[in-house]
Every structure is written in structure tokens, then in C-alpha cells.
Chain A
């Protein structure tokens, strides 16, 4: 036990009403309040200036301010700013080291603002997967319309809205943020850090995403944005009000990515464990370093481009109006200056995931580690020099085309290096075809096709022919679905045991892979041919001679959609009922596998010492890092060793942290039957370790004792209890502490080995000094973990003597 006695109790004495404290309820009313105030103020100003308060102009203004402040209000209401606000106003309840929103103790915590990178990672993955399914449903709508030529289900305007929203959700709310989700969970662990550098900013990044996505979807209520995810001016400037929703939604998704990227950069640069030099970082970390740099440098450009469209729409600024000196092509330059790097933002993290998986599941060091790391950085740097390859036919300065072709082609070189290195890693490996590995191998195949079609598109005369045809649609899906989405699936399967503590079902996983792989290729491969034959992209209607092929494509597109359900079933079922996952099912070396599954709340008790490279498979005796886990009590170490009979030291350490930690607080009642039964009952349900504390003093009360005899008696009762618990198969340790009970409990809660649950045992109401001082209530309020109160009537229990 820590002996220091800093003043405890964030003393939050006011009752926590969900109307007033960070919650969904508050998020709803605050967001709409913000929106109405913003609309009200802008309407008032218009009134003062003599502008009409109705009509299209007013609607644009209302949408702009209403949506922006609605989204900001949402993040305020849900509680992202509570900590900072408490600091700003000097709230007496404000606590510097406030971990109250850290870690999840029940599924409900996933619906609240949380600062734990692991919780945030899962929040990201679940939310983005929901958007993936919505985006997928929109795509099925597109394919339904295209199953035969002519107009079937949707008017051309709605059709344009469908594919625009499809692409927007997939890019801004699925691929980009789900990589952020995986990285959030994995990267701090891989670095040996306890969390991200800025956990509260991390939470804010996540909560910005949801309003952004909802704004995109809300546009369907007013007529969806229909100028494509590229939102080219002047089409977007002239478009109806739905386009305003796009320009604003992008700002929130973009702000979310920028904040996350800054967080990753600082985390990766400053929070690596001792010994983790750059050349010992796992390749996923390298990938995130490069990606985050791209995001930080690039995303402001798309934000700028959408602000300019918004200003043109709402304030008539004429950035893109050639009649008044604006320039239409300017939009595309700004847009692609972000959106080309964005394609690498959507691919580099996937490359990182694949490097991890290929090496681990073929039990070989990654082939050419340094060259892969270099190629990642090279792609990141070159990525900023190729944007105009999306503009070869746009009417930009003609001389720019050949240099942009050259740089674009050069990017294929580092990309190729990665592919060849992965294939060489497989050579002579011990290849385990887990589902994660299947997706990784499938990815290599599909991504080579996507990369090669990219080279076709870079060769100017070929691009001039196939640009804006279905060939480009095929290319982007080979790189974004066959590329990014396959890597996301691979990563989800690979880290599923770590994230959930459960194993997924390999048979269902294999079924999912093969369904997806076959349906994917059958859907998108023929699109190359459609493009070569001259079918333009983004059309609701097409030449009847393409009818048969389009029909077949649509059928496979539905199969592809259905394959997602297999994944979904596997995840939900395994998460709830799957076999318990060991700490390190893949026998991997990187740090995230050296802690329990799921990892303990602060990941590592001590920064791990990194001693070697991350992929030293097959090197005798090689280790990447040494992980030390604090053992709460020496008594306890012996028991733990016995538990992990066959395990290595690492596994033993992991096991210790995996067991649920319960804190028992008792004094006179410590050997009571009711208490021991309560503990035993829990031990039946899951592996348990228990720390029992017997607080001796109560300075706040009216007595202070240094009665050695009394302490000795307590000690005896404690030992008796510990013995009985161990008999019952519970890992138990404990001590008599010289403090008041409240402080003693809070010391434990905030220690580096916090309990997941507390049991307070007291005498019945009338005879308990602790109850008179509301101990249970105070602990419940401040500890924020489940607290059970057990009443032991010592005089009725024969066993509890003394």
C-alpha cells in the first residue's frame, strides 16, 4: 500500500444528474440548444441588416450555423470538454490526475466519453463498422439501379446522392477512422506506453466523428448532396442545400482525423518505451507515423477546399466562379492536394497491418525491415508530389502533366518493394492459414491488381482514355476494398483476441474470407472491361449493350454485401461466447501480445525494456522486450507462479494481470462467513485475485488508535480469512493499513493495480461506525467501479470469533 496521504476525494458532492453531466441526454439538449442559438443569432443579424428571414438564402445560413453548432454542442453535451471546462472555471471538483473516465467496467462505459485508448479504439471500430454497413447498403442501392439500363428505382438526382453518400461514408467514416481505431488500440501497446499522449483529445477526436457522420446522413432529409465525394465546383456551388451538409460534415470528420494524427505523432515520437529506437518499432508504428504526417499536412487542404465551396454557396465569395474572376480548376488542385495523400492515408496503415500479420503468421522475420520502413516514408513524401494525376484531363496547365506522370509512376516503386518483401517473407516460412493470414494473402493478390491498374492510370494517354470511366471505379475498389478493407478485416481478425479476450471462429472466418474474396473479384474485375469499352462512371443509366455484364456485377455485389453478415455474426457471437483467448495466441513478439487479453487498464505497470527487433522469429532466444508486471504482494507471487505451471515468465506476468482484481475492505468483520461466501461466489464465475485491506484508523472519526493489541487481533482475523479464501482457490493477499477506510480504499483505486470491483463488509447498520459515516455511499460515488456492501453480523456467526 502506498503510504502517502494526499487529500482524497475528488469530493464531487453534488448528485450527478444526467441532464447536467456528460451524457446522451445532455448531448441531445445541448446540441439542439447550441443549434437554435446559432440560428437565432444569425437570423437576428440578418434582420438587423434588413435581409429576408425566409427563402433559400436564409436556409443556407441556418444550415451552416445550425449544423456546425449542433455538432459542437453534441461534443460539449456528451462531456468531451468537462475536464477542460472544470480547469478553466477553477471548479473545486476539478482533479489534476482525473482518471475517472478511464477504462471500461461495463458495456455501458463504451457509450460514454472515455479516455482509455483501448476503449476509444473499440468505440471507433464499432462506430465505423456501422457506417461501413450503411455505406454498403447505399452501394447495394446503386447496384440495384444499375442491374439493368434505364431508370428503375431511383431518380437520377437520388442516384447521384446514393453514390456520393456511399463514397463519402466509406472514405471519411469507415476506412480512415477505422484505421485510427485499430491504431488507437494497438499502437500505444506496441510502444509500451500506458495510453496515448493526449487521452482527452483522443476522446474528443472520436466524438467528433459521430456528428460528422450524422450530418452526412441527415442530408437525405433535405435532398442528399449529389456532386460526388469529390464535390467539384461549380456543380457543388450551384447544388441545392444538401451540399452544405457535405461541406460541414467533412469539417468534423477532418478535425477528428487531424486531432488523432497529432496525438499519434506525439505518442510515437515521445512515448516509446526505453530501448524502442526507431529501428525497433514495429512496421505498423512506422506506417502510422507516416500516415499521421500525411493527415496533419494534408487534411487542412480539404477543409480549406470545402470552406471555399461553402463560402461560395453562402457568402457568394466567387472563389470558383469564372464569371467574376474565380477559377474552377483551383478547386481541384486544393482538393487533390489532400485527396491524393488521402489514398495513402487509407493504405499505409493497411501496409503496416499486413507486415505484422505476414511475419507473425509465417513465423519469419519480415524480409527487408528497413527497406519497408524507408518505402513507407518514401510513399509519404512522394504522395505530396502527384496530386494532379487526378487532373490530367481537367484543363490545368498542360506542362504539369508529364512531371506528375513521372512522380506517380515512381510511387509504384516503393509500393512494389513492399509487395516483393511480403512474398519473400512467406518463402520457406511456417505458414499458418488463419483467417487474418488469408485476408493478408488475398490482399496481396488484389492489391497488386490495384497497383498495376494505377500504373495504367498514370500513363498519360491511357489515363486520358479511361479517366472517369468504370476503369477508375475498378481501380479504386481494387485499392480501397481489395486493399484497405481487406487489411482492416485482416487486422480485426488478428487483434480480435487481444481486443475482446475471446477467440473468433476460424471456420466462419474462412467462410467469410472466401465469400468476400470471390464476390469481390467477380464484382469489380469486369468493371475494368466496362471502362475500356467506354462506360462512364457516375451514371444512373447506360448503353444497353452493357446490360448483361452489369446484371452479373450486381448479383455478385449482393453476395459481397451478404458476406459481411458472416463476419458480423462471427464477431458478435465470439465476443459474447467465444473461447477465452490466451494472452498471446499467435506467439507474437510485439508488445501488445505480452500483456493479458484484453490488456489491463494501464497496459504496463512499468515501461517495458525493449531489447531487440520486433520480428525476430526463428532467432534462438530472441526477445523484443521485457515486460514487468507489479505483483501487489509477495505472498501473492508464490500463488501466481503455481497457477502458470507451464508458462514462460511473460505468460505468467500476463496471467496475473488477466485475473479480475477485487478489493475487499473489512475490519471487525473480516473473517465473516457472509463475506467469504460473497468472494467465493465470484470466484466460481471467473479467475479472481483479491486484495483484502483492514483499515485501522479513522482520523476523521472520534478515535485514533495505536493499540498494538487491537492491530494484532485484526492481523490474526485477516490471516484466517486469507487462508480460507486460498482454500477456496482464490488468489488472495492482504494487509492491515494504518489509515481511515475511505482514504485506504481510494489509495487502492488510484494505485497502479486498481481493483475492478470493491466489496465493503461492515457490521449491521446500528453497530457500524463506517456506515454512520456513509462510507459505502462515498466510495460508490467516487470510486466509479461496482461496490458491493456485505453485512456481517459477527455475533450470529459462530466462525467469526475474537
Chain B
């Protein structure tokens, strides 16, 4: 078989892989933010690209071994081919184009994911060993992260000054940012799905790291407003 035919087989295998990737029901937990959908699309594109690269390498590898495997007593040498400039240019240039394309796509998605607007909700998130605290613009402080569906939210994340690094991660939002003592770090999510999720700490922070979690809830705007108001009055009562 000529190299071209093997190449065609490889592309077919890559295409089959692509179909498998696309029909796989869920690569991720349910997507609950605008950012999550964008991440998932990028991920699928990367998977498809990888499927073809994997197919090309594996098919050529397996074919060569199958076709040219020699017995131990076979003392021949192969043909003295030292290289092929055209091929070498192709496999330098094509991957360069692929990675540049993904770098551009990644950059565009990042910029979109982090766009700020004037109506956004700003929640201050503070990590400490081993708990999370959330502070809302109206002064409400909670240990449960409650968010409003459809409202762009900026998380201003930090850690107590004498504490260690933690990391804020909600898998359903696909965003993450470290909570660093002395630094304000930001990440953004626009929730799109009402439901209950879990915030997990993803930076090793000591013996309690694996259990450092906090409940997350996304509510309809009306419910959210009401929740915020109740919290406000509860807390001012408690404080008084």
C-alpha cells in the first residue's frame, strides 16, 4: 500500500473518531454558564483535531510495524532515506497553522468570557482554611454562593492575609481562579441554568483541602432578589 492510501485510511479513522466524539453524550457535567458552553465548544474542536492527529500517527505506526516487521535473523538494512524536504516543511507548517488557529480561538473566547458590563453582580469571595465566604454588594455575607440566572457575575476572589492559596472552581461554570492572600483575582460567569452546584477548592491548602467546598445555587432573578433582601434583613437583625 502506498503512503497515500495509508493516509486515506488514517483520515477515515480520524473521521470515525470524530463521530464518536460528537455522539458521546457528556464530556462534562451539565453546563450552567455562558462561559461553559464556549469552553465546551473549544474542547470539542480540540478533540476533533486530536482525533485526526492520533489517527495519522497510530495508523502509520501500526501499519509500518505490521508491514515491515522483520525476523531476528533478517540482516538487511532499510533504504537509506535521509529525509524529504517537502514532507518536513508540511509537518512544520501544518501544525503551526493548527496551533495558531487554536491560540486565536482561545484568546477570543477568553476575552469574551471576561467581558464586564455595568449591570454585573460583583461577589467578593474569600477563602480561608477550610471555608468559603461570599460577600454581596449590599453587605450580605454568606457561606452559600447564590447567583442570579442570566446576570453576568464578577467574582473578586482573595484569601485571608495570613492564610494560604485556595482556588475557586465551579465545574458547571468551567471557570476557576486562585484565591491568593494579598491579591484580588477575578473570574467571570453568567449563569444560565437554575440549580444547585458545588464550589470546590482546587488548590492544595492543607489537610482539609479535599473537603473545602461550598454550596452554589442559581436562582431566577425574582427569587434571587427576594433571597438577597431576606438575607439583608436577617443579618441586620442579627447584627443589631
> Contacting B68 at CB < 8 Å: which of A426, A459, A539?
A426
Interface size on A, residues (CB 8 A): 87
CB nearest neighbor in B for A528: B27
Residues of B within 8 A of A456 (CB): 43, 46, 50
Chain B nearest Cβ from A268, distance in angstroms = 23
Bound-state Cα–Cα, A664 to B18, Å: 74
Contacts of A765 in B (CB 8 A): none
Is A542 in contact with B210, judged by CB distance below 8 angstroms? Answer: yes
Q: Is the CB of A395 within 8 A of B177?
A: yes
Question: Does A322 contact B209, Cβ atoms closer than 8 Å?
Answer: no
Which among B106-114, B116-124, B135-143 touches the partner chain?
B106-114
Residues of A within 8 A of B187 (CB): 393, 464
Q: A431 contacts the other chain (Cβ, under 8 Å)?
A: yes
| Contact A533-B171, Cβ < 8 Å, known A232-B204, A461-B42 | yes
Stretch in contact with the other chain, from B92-100, B144-152, B219-227, B232-240? B92-100
Known contacts: A462-B46, A619-B80. The answer to whether A448 contacts B102 by CB under 8 A is no
B57: nearest chain-A partner, CB-CB: A448
B60 touches A461 (CB 8 A): no
Does A156 lie at the interface of the complex (its beta carbon under 8 Å from any beta carbon of B)? yes
B230 contacts chain A at the CB level, 8 A cutoff: no
- A532 contact from B28, B102, B202, B210, Cβ within 8 A: B28
- Whether, in the assembled complex, A420 has its beta carbon less than 8 Å from a beta carbon of chain B, the answer is yes
Enumerate B50-76 residues with CB–CB distance to A below 8 Å.
50, 53-54, 57-58, 60-61, 64-65, 68-70, 72, 74-76
A window 518-572: CB within 8 A of B: 529, 532-534, 536-542
- B164 x A419 contact (CB < 8 A): no
Contact B79 A618 (CB under 8 A): yes
CB contacts (< 8 Å) of A646 on chain B: these are none
Cβ-based interface call for A365 (8 A): yes
Number of A-B contacts (CB under 8 A): 269
Closest to A419 in B: B57
Question: Is A371 on the interface with B (CB-CB < 8 A)?
Answer: yes
Question: Given A235, A423, A533, which contacts B60 in the complex, CB threshold below 8 Å?
Answer: A423
* Known A323-B182, A405-B106: A362·B78 in contact at CB below 8 Å: yes
Query: CB-nearest residue of chain A relative to B177?
Result: A393
| A52 close to chain B: CB less than 8 A | no
Q: A364-B79, A424-B87, A461-B110 are in contact. Are A540 and B182 (CB under 8 A)?
A: no
- In the complex, the answer to whether B205 meets A235 with C-beta atoms within 8 Å is yes
Whether B209 contacts A328 by the Cβ 8 Å rule is: no
A364-B91 contact given A430-B68, A532-B27, CB 8 Å threshold: no
A696 to chain B, nearest CB (A): 52
Task: Report yes or no: B183 in contact with A430, Cβ–Cβ below 8 A.
Answer: no
- Contacting B at CB under 8 A, from A436-470, are 441, 444-445, 448-449, 452, 455-456, 458-462, 464-465, 467-469
Q: A156-B208, A363-B78, A393-B187 are in contact. List 13 more A-B contacts (CB 8 A).
A: A156-B210, A235-B165, A364-B77, A395-B157, A430-B77, A432-B72, A452-B46, A452-B50, A459-B103, A461-B106, A462-B43, A468-B203, A536-B202
- Residues of B whose CB lies within 8 Å of any CB of A are 3, 27-29, 35, 38-39, 42-43, 46, 50, 53-54, 57-58, 60-61, 64-65, 68-70, 72, 74-84, 87-88, 91-92, 95-96, 99-100, 102-103, 105-107, 109-110, 113, 157, 161-165, 167, 169, 171-172, 174-178, 180-185, 187, 200-211
Top 10 closest pairs, chain A to chain B, by CB:
A322-B182, A534-B171, A539-B210, A395-B185, A618-B77, A364-B78, A618-B80, A409-B99, A468-B202, A459-B106
Q: List 8 A-B contacts (CB under 8 A).
A: A160-B209, A234-B181, A370-B83, A426-B68, A429-B64, A461-B113, A532-B43, A539-B209
